[in-house]
Amino acid sequence: MADPVLKPNQVGSINDPVNIAIMDVPAFIGRRQAKPVTSLLALEPSTNNYHPDGLYSELVFGMVGSPERMVQFGYVDLNTPIFHPKIFKIICQLGGLYKDIMSGAAYAIFDPVIKDFKRVVGDPYTQPGAGTGFTYFLNHFPEMSFQTTASSKRDERIEVIKQYQERLLLTRYLVEPAGLRDAVNDSSGRLVQDDINKIYSSLIAIARSIPNGNRSPLFDTARYQLQSKAQEIYEYLENFLDGKTGFVQAHFARRNVAGGTRNVITAATMIASSPEDPQLLKADDVMVGVYQTIKGCQLHANHAYFTIFGKTVFKSDNVEQVALSDPATGKLVYVTISPEERDKWTTIEGVDKLINQMRNLDLRKKPVMVKANDGKPYALMLVYDEGDTIALCRSITDLEQRWPRKVHKDRLRPMTYIEMFYLIAEVIATGKHGLVTRYPVIEQGSSYVAKLHVVSTTPSRMVNVVDLLLPGAPTYPMRQYPIIGSSYMDAMMVHGSKLSGLGGDHDGDKVSLEIVWGTDSNDECAHYLESTKSVLDTDLRFITGSGLYLNDIYLRNLTRS
């Protein structure tokens, strides 16, 4: 229904090879002679026939098996105007307050001078003109003037709204052809529906609860639910099509898989005090960087961030004040932050952006700071660094009360991004494995199972991390804790015994690493690495180290697990 990439002034030009724009839905419905979908029933009562007004109707979408069923659209009459999903998405990107107003989560006053909303602080009933809800926002929307900034992306979004003034609102919502989402019967005869059909059904049910043409604030909750379902359908379809990570590209046009990373092979560092040294690269290990680990396990990284840092600092979503560390004094102070700043640290979208920013090498050495409304940055977390011991704390007061030794204030500092994400990477990599593969796969050694060994910097250091934020202050050994100022590890290191099977060397060859997420799958990988199958092929020849001289010391270290 819209193109999220093209600039507005490109739409329809000869330089634009696809000519995608915000759809004129009424014109499309008229041109395609689309019919309405009005029933929640999939089948007619007491029959196996599709309901004539339902989501699988042969009258609306064409006969089952016909070419028409693959291209014919239907529509749902919404009974009230909502924003076009693409426009709603842009509005929310232009300001978090707008979404809060429409959802009824915040009160605001429309300022006719600046032509924008101002958030209400305090009791809204004592402030003239204060309002909330979908109707309140929509009534003032035609008067709004979005402020431009130095951001070209923001300016492009504003330009889209200006260009498509006649297509900003929808009263009818398209239903994709039934042939693309038809229900099927499973082995037991039960009707199994595609997930998108359930969302369409919710959309129809909500629309039926609103009187036709009604714009009363009494129905604001239903209107926002209607908008949310429209967004859910839009994003469901967008995920199938949009960009390099879309379903079509990811599953049919690319060789990449979710939870994977691809990097250059670099020479492994084998300096260690003994074969048991935790920092030594073992034969069944693969060394991988912090950024590559958190990208390969991004869902796990999000969960680990919220568990270790997010929920510890931002304990409530309903207050604007938060306790943060003053970097100058090391003391915990309560400061006020904006909703946008809170979203940066407390939402999945915000954390995803933080993870993606780790591509910036300069950011990694910077302290993790939260910006308050007074413009001053405050530390998310503090670390007390004794070289071989690191303590996590939130204030110097907590440190002095719980640290068993004398505290030296010059060793207390804000945590850096590389430290925060290394701790997250080490937590999520524990017990996990990956499939190391170099294409083309020509023999058994071209792809093998390995344990994840996260490396932050080269060199790094072995430390004990003491978490003073938890009862009992547990200690965790960390084998590759970053040394600030050292080079970052952004390649992949495989054991020298694996190079021959991979057919690789250190002249720029790349390997892929698909990280295994499931607990049962990782248990299976661990069991495999403890078996002879991981070392011997079907002819009982060594898989690992083929082409190398296998002496007694090599064999002992290779098979020590």
Write out pLDDT tens, residues 164-177: 999 999 999 999 99
Q: What is the pLDDT of residue 16?
A: 38
pLDDT tens for each residue of 421-447? 999 999 999 999 999 888 877 777 788
The alpha helices in 126-264, defined as continuous H runs, are 134-140, 152-163, 195-208, 220-241, 247-248
Average per-residue pLDDT for the chain: 85
Q: What is the DSSP string of 294-345?
A: HHHTHHHHHHHHIIIIIHHH---SS-SEEEEE-TTT--EEEEE--HHHHHHH
Q: Work out the end-to-end distance of the chain between its first and last CA atoms, rounded to an integer number of angstroms.
A: 56
DSSP class of 448: E
Is pLDDT at 151 greater than 60 in this prediction?
A: yes
What are residue 125's phi and psi, to 5 degrees?
Answer: -75, -15
Q: Is 425 exposed, middle or buried (0-12, 13-18, 19+ CB in 10 A)?
A: buried
User: Whole-model pTM?
Assistant: 0.55
Count Cβ atoms below 10 Å from residue 438 Cβ, excluding itself. 22
Return the structure tokens found at 158.
């504003």
Confidence category of residue 399, pLDDT binned at 50, 70, 90: very high
Tell me the C-alpha to C-alpha distance, in Å, between residue 492 and each of 195, 422, 435, 469.
39, 16, 13, 33
Closest by CA to 63, choosing from 75, 77, 45, 49, is 49
Could you tell me what percent of the chain has a pLDDT over 90? 52
Of 227 and 267, more confident? 227
d(CA 553, CA 551): 6
d(CA 346, CA 305): 10
CB 232 within 8 A of CB 139: no
Give the fold, CATH level 3, of 260-265+279-558: Barwin-like endoglucanases (2.40.40)
d(CA 558, CA 550): 10
CB 308 within 8 A of CB 346: no
pLDDT tens for each residue of 354-395? 999 999 999 999 999 999 998 899 999 999 999 999 999 999
pLDDT tens for each residue of 191-224? 777 788 999 999 999 999 999 888 888 999 999 9
Of 250 and 158, more confident? 158
Residue 232, SS3 per DSSP: helix
- Type of residue numbered 476: Y
Strand partners for 154: none
Rg (CA), the chain: 29
d(CA 469, CA 224): 40
Tell me the C-alpha to C-alpha distance, in Å, between residue 172 and each of 51, 61, 76, 80, 406.
21, 17, 6, 9, 69
E-strand ranges in 403-541 read 412-414, 433-437, 447-455, 457-467, 475-488, 492-494, 510-515
Total residue length of the chain: 561
The alpha helices in 366-471, defined as continuous H runs, are 396-402, 417-429
E-strand ranges in 97-177 read 108-111, 116-119, 169-175
Q: Can you state the percent helix, strand and coil of the chain, rounding each to 5?
A: 40, 20, 40
Tell me the C-alpha to C-alpha distance, in Å, between residue 444 and each of 186, 438, 527.
38, 11, 18
Is pLDDT at 188 greater than 80 in this prediction?
A: no
DSSP class of 117: E
| Long-range interactions of 530-536: CB distance < 8 A, separation 24+ | 530/561, 534/284, 534/448, 534/449, 535/559
d(CA 292, CA 304): 16
Tell me the C-alpha to C-alpha distance, in Å, between residue 12 and each of 18, 20, 21, 22, 27.
8, 7, 8, 11, 17
Confidence category of residue 5, pLDDT binned at 50, 70, 90: very low
d(CA 152, CA 332): 38
Q: Are strands 389-393 and 457-467 parallel, antiparallel or unpaired?
A: parallel
Q: What is the CA 104 to chain-centroid distance, rounded? A: 26
- Residue 353, CA atoms < 13 Å, CB-side half-sphere: 8
Instruction: Give the residue range(s) of CATH 2.40.40.20 domains in the chain.
Output: 260-265+279-558
Q: What is the pLDDT of residue 242?
A: 62
Tokens 């714009």 -> residue? 215
Average pLDDT over residues 467-481: 91
pLDDT tens for each residue of 234-284? 988 887 766 545 555 555 545 555 667 888 888 877 777 787 888 888 888
Of 290 and 187, more confident? 290
Confidence category of residue 11, pLDDT binned at 50, 70, 90: very low
Average pLDDT over residues 506-530: 87
Is pLDDT at 226 greater than 60 in this prediction?
A: yes
Residue 36, SS3 per DSSP: strand
